[in-house]
Amino acid sequence: MTGLASTTILLVRRGDETCMASDGQVTFNDTVIKAGASKVKRTGKGEVLVGFAGGAADGLALFSRFEAKLDEYQGNLERAVVELAKDWRTDRVLRQLQAHMIVASREKSFLVSGNGDLLQPDEEGVLAIGSGANYALAAARALIAHTEMSASEIVRHAMQIAAEICVYTNDRLTIEEL
């Protein structure tokens, strides 16, 4: 699942472990502005992970909207992401936001985009967005298929591979686990 440029977010589920990571690089055109940004956040009393790619301000605005939806629907993750996707697609101001999000709890995960897309991963439980998404996704799928690594080990290795290939992705990772 590719997304907007300038970051990489990867979600891996394996067994009862859910792990999400982001790289730390923030760029402006072709200049690295920051190397240690956190693009994965916890919400929903620490039980939901959210990662965003795209414009930083847009991602943070969507994160705030998502938190409000999660509160409005008493922690019902699926209902909150469906309502956010509907608002994002139909609201004039939200439609202008340039970002993608991955949202995950222990049981479910979703990719949400401004086109109104709301996708769940296949059985292997891997989602990725951002400029390095295809590299991280391919590496994670290969590691799931050919190793017994945990979700957090897969995330670390796959993100390292993405950082070695994608110029908009670095190896200063933020990793959160459920």
Give dist(CA 43, CA 101) in Å, integer: 14
Q: Look at residue 98 and tell me whether its pLDDT is greater than 80.
A: no
Closest CA to 104 of 86, 85, 80: 80
Residue 3: what pLDDT? 43
Instruction: Give the start-to-end residue ranges of the domains of the chain.
Output: 8-177
The catalytically annotated residue of 7, 43, 169, 174 is: 7
Q: Which two tokens stand for residue 44?
A: 């929903």
What percent of the chain has a predicted confidence (pLDDT) above 70?
Answer: 94
What percent of the chain has a predicted confidence (pLDDT) above 90?
Answer: 61
Our CA angle for 92, 42, 174, nearest 5°, is: 105
Q: What would the pLDDT profile of 28-58 be if each residue is shown by its tens digit?
A: 777 888 888 889 999 999 999 999 888 777 7
Q: Do residues 140 and 149 touch, judged by C-beta distance below 8 A? A: no
Q: Look at residue 170 and tell me whether its pLDDT is greater than 50.
A: yes
Q: What dihedral do alpha carbons 144, 147, 135, 131 form, nearest 10°?
A: 60
How sure is the predictor about 2, in pLDDT bands with cuts at 50, 70 and 90? very low
Check residues 5 and 142 and name the one with the higher pLDDT: 142
Q: Do residues 55 and 97 touch, judged by C-beta distance below 8 A? A: yes
Under DSSP, the state recorded for 74 is: T
Check residues 11 and 114 and name the one with the higher pLDDT: 11
Round the average pLDDT of the chain to a whole number and report it. 89
Q: Is 7 a catalytic residue?
A: yes
Topology of the domain comprising 8-177: Glutamine Phosphoribosylpyrophosphate, subunit 1, domain 1 (3.60.20)
User: From residue 128, how far is each of 49, 150, 167 by CA, in Å?
Assistant: 14, 17, 16
Q: pTM of this prediction?
A: 0.91
What Rg, from alpha-carbon coordinates, does the chain have? 15
